[in-house]
Amino acid sequence: MTYRPDILSGQTKHLIRQSCQRRHLDVMPAFGLMDADTTMIAAQMAEQGKSKADLGRLLGLDSSQVTRIFNGRRRIQYHERLKIDDWLGLGSGATHTTGVVVAGPNMIPLYGYVGAASEGRLTLAEQNLRGYVSMHPAQQHVRDAFALEVNDISMSPRYEPGEVVYLAPNRWPTRDQDCVVVTRDGEGLLKRFVRREHAKIVLHQLNPDQDIEVALDEIDAIHTVVGRN
């Protein structure tokens, strides 16, 4: 039997309306915490009746990771955004506000990480300027402060892919402080600083849980993490 919208009972229409309202509220409660891109995605999802659970299935994320996106604590990665655009029918003509580079007072550059997450290592692509973000309070008197987007799981669950870390460049960390170590071949390591020995430093990562040694003559720079989003 085929149902037509014009002959649905009043009760059925009410239930459908309630279902749509629930889906709308599902993706809109943290409106004020989201950036412009995520706000636009949330609005499109609400308009099309798509939920957080639907988005999680699309991207292969669990509910906590999806919630972090809508709470402003996890940035949507580029490959995920392509899937979302196709899913929402936005196409290649959609405007990605995070791709617009705009500097302003108390703004710092945001760079992207690209690289081999499977090896627990990152390729630091400082030429990959994604835009500008507000300066972290701990960077107020830091010269040449900048931020980096995490795209690696070696420090999970402390740092998840898509999070932003705020750095004090060329500042040595103290014991148990997080840092980004840049090697002479251009790779970057987001780790916890353990100690400095005669000809090396010892770092610690969480996933897998282990220490890593890096020779001092292989290090090009060390940047201390002073904040996170």
* Bridge-based pairing state of the strands 107-114 and 146-149: parallel
pLDDT of residue 73: 74
**CA 13 to CA 6: how far, in whole Å?**
10
In this structure, of 7-21, 23-37, 92-106, 137-151, the range with the lowest mean pLDDT score is 7-21
Mean per-residue pLDDT of the chain: 76
**CA 77 to CA 135: how far, in whole Å?**
21
Q: Say which residue, 159 or 15, is predicted with more confidence.
A: 159
- Asked if 212 contacts 191 with a C-beta cutoff of 8 angstroms, the reply is yes
Q: Tell me the per-residue pLDDT of 172-226, one tens digit each, with 9 for 90 and over.
A: 999 999 999 988 877 788 999 999 998 999 999 999 999 999 999 999 889 999 9
Tell me, letter by letter, the H, E, C secondary structure of 159-200.
Answer: CCCCCEEEEECCCCCCCCCEEEEEECCCEEEEEEEEEECCCE
In the chain, what are the domain boundaries? Answer: 8-97, 104-228
pLDDT of residue 124: 55
Which of 3.20.20.80, 3.40.50.720, 2.10.109.10, 2.60.40.10 would CATH assign to domain 104-228? 2.10.109.10
- Asked if 124 contacts 113 with a C-beta cutoff of 8 angstroms, the reply is yes
pLDDT of residue 20: 47
Q: Say what the alpha-carbon torsion angle 154, 158, 163, 164 is, to the nearest 10 degrees.
A: -100
| CATH no., domain 8-97 | 1.10.260
